[in-house]
Structure 1
């Protein structure tokens, strides 16, 4: 994350700190209202709401203290008006005490849920790192950077994938997105990545790499039953930088086209023809390979549809071609950080999909 993202995180923490003071504000406000108004007016609702609000916002100790504070405040007001010994006063105190106990119970339930969620996220992050290891920062004349960011509302592992591999045929890369989430998506992603890593070293053509990957997914799908057989596919873009040259070769299998940045301009590398995703085209003709110049100073930016499908509050999709045009950056990592910050600024809140990014700069 860039500095802007860090600033947003700091602001979020400040807001949360203020929100956590609300139960105390309610207690103090309720007590003052009770104290300055006649006995027939009661702020009992304040004493009931404060512990319940503290349960999701505060620790166990904080919730218990707010509950005790509510009981003490109500008892003090009842004593002030000489009502604490009456049946109404006793009933009121018992109600506040019951609410305080329930608030502590809810706090414990929320704590257990949060612990389990953090554990699940930790496992998901570990699996994600195992499936998508950090690419080397430099390969020959190329500098490389990658980012993976899960959707804010998701705790599951996503199906986005990428890989960078130096081969006898040049530097080869893949950016892909398998269908679904969770462990099924990870299983499909490992098949795609395993097939890519083997084929990238053995196949002399980028089209041959795509065919090998197609065959691998097709074989795995044949072992599935029911809907699983129909859902084993992945969109992907394969990129190749032949050795000793200044060319870029691409094969696109139903994936959002990558971007090529050079001289402050951005253009989308649209494929000349459209092909089916991996796992759905086995048996078709070999893939067409799009070739274009890639001189020093050029940058290839590959991404998943989590970028282009990010929407602002009005429902407008994020357009990386327009938003990145003229944006300065000193390297691939800086470019990806700037893009992530800009997507966050565009959406202004949670997203519905993960984002995977891979940038390769020719220096």
Structure 2
């Protein structure tokens, strides 16, 4: 792209020499500084404009035209476009500076709300990935958290209904509440009750949103200190996937639960699943941006179907392979945010 202005100028000179005298390459002389504005510096844009003007003037001198009205008009047009190109270059520079600043702020907000999980906690290791649906966005409505507590390592992944700043606010509320309750509540059911109250209160405080319109789907996992057992509560979220050697299977709840924030529709007790988690096993928590990715035929992405029989050296390799496979499946289209959290039992505890 940086060479395009020079190519246009060269092409203009070639056209002037190769065509009859009645044909002018004025459009190319004018286009060169305009194409330089978004790809070159201010100095480069000005130099391109000056060169375009001088080349056009030199062509008139070479062919023996001096001072006629069409020549003056053409040269004035090239000079005017060169000045406009310099102005556009400065405007684009300031817009790009503002965009970089906004991206830096968004990245800082994402890191503050969704900090990287700890690399290890006892016999467990953690790896996370986050991809927003919008290519230039840094944060959306998906969340994850890992807290090493006196009651075991507790993890959460969730998906907030809605988009925009309201979703980001709900993400922050959910994560703060989970971190606080995870450290204070020995009972996993009580932890979920606190999350439920926080999500319901947040939904009620948003103007025009009723209790049943604001909710969060999620999975909360509690790993024992020795790491060989995990307790799961699924509240309307896609089922986690358990990887062991070259096998993969969905961990479906015996009793599906409603999303957080929908207690008005719930009549049953909380269902806690207890799962054996041997050494070498990996539990994958993810949001529905993964499983709702469609290919050109409209087929949803199936983690178990595509990863059964495949081995990976570590959780990082697993998540990298999974995201690459999802992008291939969907052709690079992103319909929703994607968050993934992989927990691996790395070694037995004495």
Q: 1:124 corresponds to which residue?
A: 106
Residue 129 of structure 1: how far off its partner (Å): 0.8
Cα distance in 2 for residues equivalent to 1:208 and 1:255: 19
Alignment length, in residue pairs? 345
Residue 176 of structure 1: how far off its partner (Å): 1.0
Q: 2:131 corresponds to which residue?
A: 149
Query: Cα RMSD over matched residues?
Result: 2.4
Q: Does residue 292 of the first structure (1) align with residue 275 of the second (2)?
A: yes
Cα distance in 1 for residues equivalent to 2:302 and 2:29: 50
Residue 267 of structure 1: how far off its partner (Å): 1.8
Q: Any stretches of 5+ residues in structure 1 without a counterpart?
A: 1-18
1:266 is matched with which residue: 248, 251, 266? 248
Q: Is the 8 A contact 1:156 1:181 kept in 2?
A: no
Q: Does residue 176 of the first structure (1) align with residue 158 of the second (2)?
A: yes
Q: 1:14 corresponds to which residue?
A: none
Q: Is the 8 A contact 2:30 2:78 kept in 1?
A: yes
Cα distance change, pair 347–115 in 1 and its aligned pair in 2 (3 A): farther
Cα distance in 2 for residues equivalent to 1:216 and 1:258: 24
Q: 1:239 corresponds to which residue?
A: 221
1:306 is matched with which residue: 289, 294, 302? 289
Cα distance in 2 for residues equivalent to 1:279 and 1:294: 30
Q: Which moved more, 1:154-163 or 1:171-180?
A: 154-163
Cα distance in 1 for residues equivalent to 2:299 and 2:3: 36
Q: Does residue 353 of the first structure (1) align with residue 336 of the second (2)?
A: yes
TM-score, L = length of structure 1: 0.86
Q: Any stretches of 5+ residues in structure 2 without a counterpart?
A: none
Cα distance in 2 for residues equivalent to 1:313 and 1:27: 43
Residue 272 of structure 1: how far off its partner (Å): 2.9
Residue 58 of structure 1: how far off its partner (Å): 2.3
Q: Is the 8 A contact 1:157 1:183 kept in 2?
A: no
Q: Does residue 135 of the first structure (1) align with residue 109 of the second (2)?
A: no
Residue 208 of structure 1: how far off its partner (Å): 2.8
Residue 319 of structure 1: how far off its partner (Å): 3.3
Residue 239 of structure 1: how far off its partner (Å): 1.2
Residue deviations 1:267-319 (CA, integer Å, cap 9, x gap): 22233333322112257333212333221111011122232344556665443
